[in-house]
Amino acid sequence: MPAAMNTTEIFLIAMLIILTAPYLIWRVGRTEYYAPLVVVQIIAGILLGPGVLGAVFPEYYQFVFNPQVIQSLNGIAWWAVMLFVWIAGIELDLHEAWKHRGETVVTAGLALLVPMLLGCAAAIGLLAHGDGWMGPQALAWQFVLGMGMACAVTALPILILFMEKIGILREPLGQRVLRYASFDDVAIWGVLALILMDWTRVGRQGAFLLAFALATLAFRALMRRLPERDRWYVGLIWLAACGFAADWAGLHFMVGAFLSGAVIDGRWFDREQMDRLRHNVLLVVMPVFFLSTGLRTNWTLGGATVFIAAGVLLFAAIAGKLAGVHLAGRILRWERGEASIIGWLLQTKALIMIIFANILLDKAIITSEAFTALLLMAVASTMLTIPLATPKLARLAGLVSRSR
């Protein structure tokens, strides 16, 4: 009789599933146009979770994704998402946003505010129609604002990948969209920090922010003096330190990861190397994060109820983003069709919104059912971006290279 498998062997079976399943779906199904590999990996994480694989094959699910394996996967997932959020912080283009601050504030502000308000209204509707959405540690305003924020997010790193794919990243239109997304990223993380404020530990959180500000001055002075090869390593040390300090203060380690990247000047690093790092993080370790995210989904309220909630949130996110950008276009007198292209590009939510949803779930502000609805909304919103933006770009090709 063969010996029972040890944890290492079962862990490697899990890794085999995590890496193989989404790749085969993506490659064999040729989903690249409407569902790039990163989106397929997120969907695969949901399918491999307890609500699908766990329901159909409960014994196999419990064997592969046992507590020891999940603990090992979570460690990889935490570091993967910290790296990804750190890169997202570095890639913020706040210099250009400040240079064009008038247009950027109007466009980014409306693109953020309108979907957030509609998302807040959707969250109030969820609370009014039943329990099971708000987490046990949340106040009503935290839940409502958190759900509204999730509807307003634009995932800057995935937006960069999408615009690179359709060939507009380095064009004037692509750079404008990056400015708007960068501004919104900073604002959204600020809203998240407000939601996560723990008034019983406000002294500790205040001490963290003060210490972070002082440490940033010393860190930036050091980075300016280092050669680039040392900046990479010192940057990772800084990432780990900020993640620990933010978590200790009661915010969240991902907030610390974002802050650690946001204070780093992207011009300190070679752009091609940064692009390669982002691609490699997505290739090598982020699939584990997608799986760990899928393991947290919950369908206890019923599949239909969760899908309806996801549909309501999707409507709020899409209608709000398009309405906000169209209003900005009217104020700034854009050309016909311009607002529609920008609005659909800014629909890209994917990873950053999923990261935010994970933070809200960690802090018990939302339940796993609300988390599942947000996850479905993020996938659907991101899948719509390329199919709806690309034809519009083809019809209005002259806008791509026109600066503003």
Residue 210 CB contacts under 8 Å (≥ 6 apart), including other chains: none
Please check whether residue 290 is in contact with residue 41, taking contact to mean a CB–CB distance below 8 angstroms.
yes
Count CA within 13 A, CB hemisphere, residue 139: 9
pLDDT tens digits, residue range 173-224? 888 888 888 888 888 888 888 888 776 667 788 888 899 999 999 999 999 9
The pTM for the full model equals 0.83
* Domain regions of the chain by residue span: 71-399
CATH of 71-399 among 3.20.20.70, 3.40.50.2300, 1.20.1530.20, 3.40.190.90: 1.20.1530.20
Instruction: Identify the three-state secondary structure at position 134.
Output: strand
- The string of pLDDT tens digits covering residues 118-128 is 999 999 999 98
Tens-place pLDDT, residues 70-87:
899 999 999 998 998 898
Which residue type occupies 264?
I
Mean pLDDT (whole number) for 343-365: 87
